[in-house]
Amino acid sequence: MAMASPFPSLDHAISIAKDIWFNKVDVIGWLEAFAAHPQIGESPSSHTTSAQWSKGEQSTALATATDAGLQELYDWNARYRQKFGHVFLICASGRSAAEILGELKNRYSNRPIVELEIASQEQMKITELRLRKLFSTQTKADSGSSQYSSAVASKAEKERVGVIGQHLTATLEGLPAKAPKVQARTRPPITTHVLDVSKGSPAAGIEVRLEMWKGSRPCPSFGETDMGRWVLEGSSTTDRDGRSGQIMSMVDALSPGVYRISFNTGKYNPGGFFPYVSIVFEIKETQTLEHFHVPLLLSPFSFSTYRGS
C-alpha cells in the first residue's frame, strides 16, 4: 500500500487494498494479519492505533454483552481456534454480542478451506472500514460548499493524503517510492507452498515433484493409463514456511504443455486420507512468460488449491 501511495481518493485506496489482499498476499500473509486481531469480546491490551480501532469496532458487542454472554463467547472462541488454528474474525462494527455469537456458531461447522475464505473477506471489510476512518478524519468540509475556495480545498486534500501516507510509510522510510520494474525472473516460473489448515501453519518437510507430460498425445486423457509419459522437471522439499523453493530451472519462458505437481502427503501425515496429492494443469502458448503459483491447502481429510500470482 505504501508503494502504491499517494491515493487521489478513498475509492482508489480501497481498490488497491483489495487487489493487494486478494491477489498478492498469500495464505501465510492472511494468517499473519488474522493473528494481529484480539479475540472477539476481549479488550486489546496494546495502545497502538490498530488496537484502539479494534476496541472501538467491538464497542457495541462489549456494551450489549452480559457476563454469561462474554463467557460463552470466550468458550466458543477457544473451540473455534482449536478447530481452525486462527482467531475468529468478523467485522464487529455495530454488531451486538448475540449477533456475533450466532455467526460464530454458524461458521464453526464450515470446512477449514471455506472458513479461511470467509475470514479473509471479513478482514477486507475491516481494512475498508479503517481506510474510511483515515480519510474521514481529514475531511472537514462539504465538497459542494461555496465557503471554501478551490485553493483551500486543494490544501485540505493534500493534508488528508499526507496523513494517510504517514500511516502507511511509518515503517517503510528506506523503500523506494515505486516498485522497480522486473526485467527478468527472480524466482522459478512455477512455485508452490503448502498450508496445513488443520494447524493454521505452514506444512514443512513435504516432498514435492514437478513433471511435464511428454506422451504421444498433446494432453493426457481422463482415465487413460499414463505410466512413463511424465518427465521429471524438478523436485524439492517444503521449508519451514511451507514453500517449495526452486522446484525447477530458472528459465525466462516456460514450455507450453501439461504439468503435474505432486505432494507426498502420506509421508507428512501417515494417518491422513491421502497417500499423495497430484494437481494437473495446462500452460498455454500465450502464458509462457507468466508466473504460476500453485498452493496446496491441506488437512487430514481434505485439500484445495487455486492459481495464485
Catalytic residues, by residue number, are 37
Q: Which residues contact 37 (CB under 8 A, 6 or more apart)?
A: 54, 87, 89, 126
Do the beta carbons of residue 74 and residue 46 sit within 8 Å? no
Amino acid identity, residue 76?
W
Confirm if 247 and 235 have CB atoms less than 8 A apart: yes
CB count in 10 Å sphere of residue 150: 7
What is the DSSP annotation of the chain?
-TTT---SSHHHHHHHHHHIIIIIS-HHHHHHHHHTSPPTT------SHHHHHHHHHTHHHHHH--HHHHHHHHHHHHHHHHHHSS------TT--HHHHHHHHHHHHTS-HHHHHHHHHHHHHHHHHHHHHHHHHTT--S-TT-TTS-HHHHHHHHHHHHHHHHHHHHTT-TTS-SSPPPP-S-SS-SEE-BEEETTTTEE--S-EEEEEEE-SSSSSPPTT---TT-EEEEEEEE--TTSB----S---SSPPPEEEEEEE-HHHH-TTSS-S-EEEEEEE-GGGTTS-EE--EEEETTEEEE--B-
